[in-house]
A = this chain, B = another copy of it.
Amino acid sequence: MKKILIQLDTDALPSTFDRVVAVDAGVDELFSYGGVTPENVETLVHGAIFTRKPSDLMNTAIFVGGSNVAAGETLLKAVKKSLFGPFKVSVMMDSNGSNTTAAATVIAAARHLDLSNTTALVLAGTGPVGCRVAQLLISQGATVRLASRSIDRSTATCEMLSKVVNGAKLMPHESQTEGGLTAACQGVDLVVAAGAAKTQLINTDQLKGISTLKLAIDLNAVAPAGIDGVEVMDKAKDRFGFLSYGAVGVGGTKMKIHLAAVQSLFLANDRVLDTAAIFELGRSLS
């Protein structure tokens, strides 16, 4: 029986990136939909679950993607709501690569640090990737400082994450002022920059001022770097006395996780590959 992946993309034209990965993951048939909204989901999901027998449904799965992560989260909810009883297919959500990137980032960090004993600063921590990196770090017992230009937004994200992870060690920070950023940097082992492309979030002087720093990970692929001095190809590169990763340095692991996650959808018909599940799967690969 052929493995069918149904790609529900919130952009008008479904992502070629996700399609190539699906093909390379061994999917036999890819049904790609663009411009998918929550209103379309029930019909699309019912068509998927009412055709093959429940015992065959592990050969059908759903991938939720698109550049808008919030829209993808809404679609994922709608997909889960349309599944019931034995009429289930596995589903993965990775809009804009947010979940696989966050998982690869925290896995890279865990190679060098004992996360349960780590204090981490996540810059642009209210964005889709930063927020997921923070979630995974606190789920591993790290103490996280979640920084944003706006203290209100970082506070809101921290409140949201406290509900997702029990016993979160998490603190909002403001990173727009030099004083705010300096305070956030104080005594951290790890800095992750998860901001928009071409946006520097911390300069070399500020970075060198963190005497406790062991690892810096910058997820921005387009220069100027988010962390000044870190380069896109860095992969456990020694810089100024700490190790650094750039976006491409994390990218190899991200791609492996993405491939393995798509493959794992076809091992059962009831998997939900969200942020936490994709991270667990990624850890099992290393």
Contact = CB atoms under 8 A, between A and B. Distances in A.
Contacts of A51: 16-17, 20-21, 24, 255
A2 interface: yes
Contacts of A16: 6, 31, 43-45, 47-48, 51
**Interface secondary structure of A, over-half rule:** mixed
A224 B145 CA distance: 54
A60 B20 contact: yes
A269 to B, nearest CB: 14
A23 interface: yes
Contacts of A60: 20
Interface in A17-31: 17-21, 23-24, 28-31
A24 B35 CA distance: 26
A18 B32 CA distance: 14
A32 B35 CA distance: 15
Given A29-B30, A51-B255, A36 B20 contact: no
Contacts of A4: 19-20, 23
A156 interface: no
A285 interface: no
A19 B31 contact: yes
Contacts of A67: 43
A1, A12, A16, A47 interface centre (most CB from chain B within 10 Å)? A16
Task: Give the 4 A-B residue pairs with the shortest CB-CB distance, closest first.
Answer: A16-B47, A17-B47, A20-B51, A16-B48
Interface of A: 1-2, 4, 6, 12-13, 15-21, 23-24, 28-33, 35-36, 40, 43-48, 50-52, 60, 67, 255
